[in-house]
Structure 1
Amino acid sequence: MQQDRRTIISGLALLLAATPGLALAQGRDPDVEAILNDPEAPVSGNPKGNVTIVAFLDYNCPFCKKAAPDLARVVREDGQIRLVYKDWPVIAETSVYAAQLALAAAYQGAYAKAHDALMATKGRLSREQIAAALKGAGIDLARLEADVNGKAAQITALLQRNMAQADSLGLQGTPTYLIGPFRTSTQDYAGFKQVVADARKKQALP
């Protein structure tokens, strides 16, 4: 999904702080609590941050990859952002495979390493590229394979929840970021900073 990198999609996609659910494109109410606080969804940044970013991403999405370093920089420098990852593999079969492995890496405390390595890999991923990227990130591949198989039910269930949440929000493609009460697509560093600042202002209103 390519859009102006600094344009917030008009209207509120999700009033994260207070609203139990807004009827959106599919006529289904998003489960705000599940979107924000799925206990199995990977989280980085400050777990007690005052702005939450929920990122729906695909490892084969070139715009996700382009934005990833800027998003990571903003989260790191800001210090008050909670970043929730929603692996949403919608582009190719290898998107699903990559998401499964990234989520399996979480069982060895290495989701962030897997995520960063896959986002840094250029072009459409092959299974061989995925394995090479994860090995290069220092991930234990033998344990990863064991966790992919042993935790298959949990990983599949999480991916299905992510899919259902994206559907309930009427999302059309990756990347999609829910930043406080706003929904937006591809951003650069300045764009992310601006939307975060706008989210804080909006959340501070009575």
Structure 2
Amino acid sequence: MDQRRNHAWTAPLLDRPASRRQLLLGMGAAGLLLALGILRDRAFAQDLDPEMVLNDPASPLGGNPKGSLNIVTFFDYNCPFCRQASKPLGDVVQADGDIRLVYKEWPILTDASRDGAVLALAAQRQGKYETAHAALMAQEGRADSAAMRSVVEATDIDMTRLDADRAAQSNEINAHLDRNLAIAEALGLRGTPAYLVGPYLVASALDTAGFEQVIKDARARGKDG
């Protein structure tokens, strides 16, 4: 995806003619619940709990878990634009202090992408998700499965425990990744990266200024009701 810094993609979707995709982007779980009723005719939506978008207990969290603004990030570890936007997003979330960041692993580019996602989610079991995430996002070029593992091994993560957790939690991790895929499909997402910032969908890599602007817009939108 190309990097854009105008507001064409940040206009509030609720101000546009309603579509299935747009209805899913209401403020919080209530808007998602309404939209899921409309989506019941689509097979992938049959078991999709709207709470899973913002509050799936298996989704890693960053920033402030009690933050007043949600950002949901959909990404693939082999997506160069995801990597490009990862540090600006992390910096803005840390500096802000009132953002709840929800990670949605969405490995759609290569088989190795899914291997990287599994490694990160297994690392979550020892409280090291963001360590693995940062290492995987710092890669350059197309990474195969061996490269994914190598960068995680270079951190302070206990790989023996990671491998044990990955084996023991394989079904749960794969089910979580399948839920993320269903959510992305239900939202009509077409590629990575994609972000839900309050009521806004941003389907583009942003720099620091871009994230700051859409966060400002989302909070202003919230105040307007």
Following superposition, the deviation at residue 25 of structure 1 comes to 9.4
Aligned to 2:213: 194
Residues 125-146 of structure 1, C-alpha deviations (whole Å, 9 max, x = no match): 1222112210112111111111
Instruction: Call closer, same or farther: CA 1:123–1:152 in 2, change over 3 Å.
Output: same
Aligned to 1:47: 65
| Partner Cα distance (1:5, 1:121) in 2 | 25
Following superposition, the deviation at residue 39 of structure 1 comes to 0.5
Kept in 1, the 8 Å contact 2:119–2:149? The answer is no
| Correspondence 1:75 to 2:93 | yes
| Partner Cα distance (1:109, 1:83) in 2 | 16
Residues 108-140 of structure 1, C-alpha deviations (whole Å, 9 max, x = no match): 110000000000011111222112210112111
SS class of match (1:156): helix
SS class of match (1:64): helix
| Correspondence 1:58 to 2:81 | no
| Partner Cα distance (1:16, 1:164) in 2 | 20
SS class of match (2:35): coil
Aligned equivalent of 2:26, options 15, 20, 26: 15
Following superposition, the deviation at residue 5 of structure 1 comes to 4.0
Aligned to 1:158: 176
Percentage of matched positions with identical amino acids: 46
Aligned to 1:204: 223
| Partner Cα distance (2:187, 2:117) in 1 | 20
Residues 144-176 of structure 1, C-alpha deviations (whole Å, 9 max, x = no match): 111111100100010010000001001000000
Between 1:136-145 and 1:157-166, the stretch displaced more is: 136-145
Kept in 2, the 8 Å contact 1:27–1:168? The answer is no
Structure 1: any 5+ residue segments left out of the alignment?
none
Aligned to 1:2: 2
SS class of match (1:202): helix
TM-score, with normalisation over the residues of structure 1?
Answer: 0.93
Question: Which of 1 and 2 has higher RCO (CA within 8 Å, sep 6+)?
Answer: 1
Structure 2: any 5+ residue segments left out of the alignment?
15-21
Map 1:53-132 → 2, pairs under 5 A: 53-132=71-150
Pick the structure with more helix per residue. 2
TM-score, with normalisation over the residues of structure 2?
Answer: 0.86
Kept in 2, the 8 Å contact 1:75–1:83? The answer is yes
> Which consecutive segments of 4 or more residues in structure 1 shift more than 6 A?
23-27
| Partner Cα distance (1:111, 1:75) in 2 | 16
| Correspondence 1:32 to 2:50 | yes
Calculate the aligned-residue CA RMSD, in Å.
Answer: 2.0
SS class of match (2:161): helix
| Partner Cα distance (2:151, 2:39) in 1 | 37
SS class of match (1:55): strand
| Partner Cα distance (2:94, 2:114) in 1 | 28
Between 1:15-24 and 1:158-167, the stretch displaced more is: 15-24
| Partner Cα distance (2:55, 2:5) in 1 | 27
